[in-house]
Chains A and B, each alone.
Chain A
Amino acid sequence: MTATRAIEDFVDPIWRNNPTFVQMLGMCPTMAVTNTVINGFSMGVTTTFVLVGSAFFVSLFRKSVPNEVRITTSILVIAAFTSLADMFVAALAPTIYKALGAFIALIVANCVLLGRMEAFAQKRPVGRSVLDSLGTGIGFTLGLSCVSAVREILGNGTFAGIHLFGPHFQPMLIFMLPPGGFLALGFWLLFLSYLKARKKGHRRVRLWPVVVTRRKVAA
């Protein structure tokens, strides 16, 4: 394994193929548990654990698993690691376990995991698969933290429980409620594609038309 390829495997899913912002996978936890930074971050870490563990085993047994049952095998491995993670979190951090609710068990149905197994771990050696899934996990944690930071700062005036503003801060409650999840990620995506459009040279792209008005359709 060359060093550059290893770095590529690791960095690509963090930045250029970020699971949250680019691939748009694993949306359920991205919306559901991101009302505070601590919840979002711990969900990301838990998912990373399941991801790395299952990538290791799926990649290890990739030659002995027949092609017809590979999805079932991956799901079973992921389910086993999710059960482990479920028990770990319940034992080590009961408050976080209560806050995340059923969503730790729902890591099984997170498409990021099955996607990585299908696209990467089933075809490549163990070292590369572990690096790739570690990168994906970190990218996912980054995405969750970004979304939850917006929601917590605007919706509660705090960051990871620390009060940022004075006592007269009026929180935007909507960001703590379910619609806030959609809106926060939506604004992140709009902002990122705005930056991308700027980089491509669309100098006249402006943010305000979205907020204020819509241009008339050219006849």
Chain B
Amino acid sequence: MLKDLSWILVSAALVNNFTLTLFLGLCSFLGVTGKVSTALRMGAADTFVLVLTSVAAWFLNRFVLGYAPYLRIIAFIVVIAALVQIVEMFVKKVSPTLFRELGIYLPLITTNCAILGLALFQTNRGYNFIQGVAFALGAGLGLTLALTLMGSIRERVELSDSPIFARSMGIVLIIAGCISLAFMGFGGLFSS
């Protein structure tokens, strides 16, 4: 049981990293990784919403969507939008400084495909409640790791003297490709 859970967690965080091997949440990966501090905060906010979504998706699957499977996409996106709204109000009430630091990134989590992707994958794989939470935690950790790595490399790239036409997103994507290549090495982690 515990082995199973840790497998789900590590697999979601490293082997099937949401950003680098499944290509989910790339907008924030390319958009808000200009600085490490922002990237870290974004990762933390993402992880929080991922775990909440996983719980909500489990409840939806268990009690509602069995009767109306064709409403799956609409139900998930509405629940995610509502969750992000609640988290936003909660953060605003509890810690106004954190709210100001996260700024526009908080509401944008709604259209982060990692969140919806998590809900869909969890449904497809038939995870139970605890497995779902482990999956969400792993995915969140993986996202945070990818965002932080990218942020710290981009801080360096800003300072380097690259050719004039490479000072755009092109070089960022090549870097992302290299990080992704490194992450493929984790594929051998669970070969047996």
Q: Size range of the interface on B?
A: 35 or more
A47 to B104, CA, bound (A): 26
Specify which chain A residues have a CB less than 8 angstroms from the CB of B121 in the assembled complex. 102
Residues of B within 8 A of A (CB): 20-27, 29-30, 70-74, 77-78, 81, 110-113, 115-117, 120-121, 124, 160-166, 168-174, 176-178, 180-181, 184
Give A189 to B165 CA distance when docked, in angstroms. Answer: 9
* Chain A residues within 8 Å of B24, by CB: 28, 32, 106
Closest-CB distance, B20 to chain A (whole angstroms): 7
Q: Point out the residues of chain B lying under 8 angstroms from A205, CB to CB.
A: 163-165
Tell me the bound Cα distance from A214 to B185 in angstroms.
27
In this complex, which of A31, A86, A87, A202 has the most chain B Cβ atoms within 10 angstroms of its Cβ? Answer: A31
Chain A: minimal CB distance from B50 (Å): 13
**Whole-angstrom distance between the Cβ of B56 and the nearest chain A Cβ:** 16
Interface residue A166 (Cβ < 8 Å from any Cβ of B)? no
Using A72-B81, A102-B117, A182-B174 as known contacts, say yes or no to A27 and B161 having CB atoms under 8 A apart: no
28 residue pairs of the A-B complex, CB under 8 angstroms, read A24-B30, A24-B169, A27-B27, A28-B24, A28-B25, A31-B23, A79-B74, A79-B78, A83-B72, A102-B117, A105-B72, A105-B116, A106-B116, A106-B117, A109-B111, A109-B115, A111-B111, A177-B184, A178-B21, A181-B177, A186-B173, A186-B176, A193-B166, A196-B165, A205-B164, A214-B162, A217-B160, A217-B161
| Cβ contact within 8 Å between A28 and B73 | no
Q: Contact partner of B23 among A75, A79, A178, CB < 8 A?
A: A178
Contact A106 B77 (CB under 8 A): no
Q: A79-B74, A187-B170, A190-B174 are in contact. List 8 more A-B contacts (CB 8 A).
A: A28-B113, A31-B26, A109-B77, A109-B117, A114-B111, A179-B178, A189-B173, A197-B165
**Contact status B70-A87, CB under 8 Å:** yes
In the complex the two chains form, is A179's CB within 8 Å of B177's CB?
A: yes
Distance from B23 Cβ to chain A, minimum over Cβ atoms (Å): 4
Q: A102-B121, A108-B73 are in contact. Are A190 and B171 (CB under 8 A)?
A: yes
Interface residues on A, range: 35 or more
Task: Determine the residue in chain B with the shortest Cβ distance to A186.
Answer: B173
Q: Does B74 lie within 8 Å of A32, measured CB to CB?
A: no
Please tell me if A210 contacts chain B, counting CB pairs below 8 Å.
yes
- List residues of chain B with CB within 8 A of the CB of A83: 70-74
Which residues from chain A contact B160 at a C-beta distance below 8 Å? Answer: 214, 217
Residues of B within 8 A of A86 (CB): 73
The reply to whether A76 and B169 form a contact with Cβ atoms under 8 Å apart is: no
Residues of B within 8 A of A106 (CB): 24, 113, 116-117, 120
| Least CB separation from B22: chain A residue | A32
A13 at the binding interface (Cβ < 8 Å): no
A214-B169 in contact (CB<8A): no
Q: Return chain A residues, CB-CB under 8 Å to B170.
A: 186-190, 192-193
Provide the residues of chain B in CB contact with A108, threshold 8 Å: 73, 77, 116
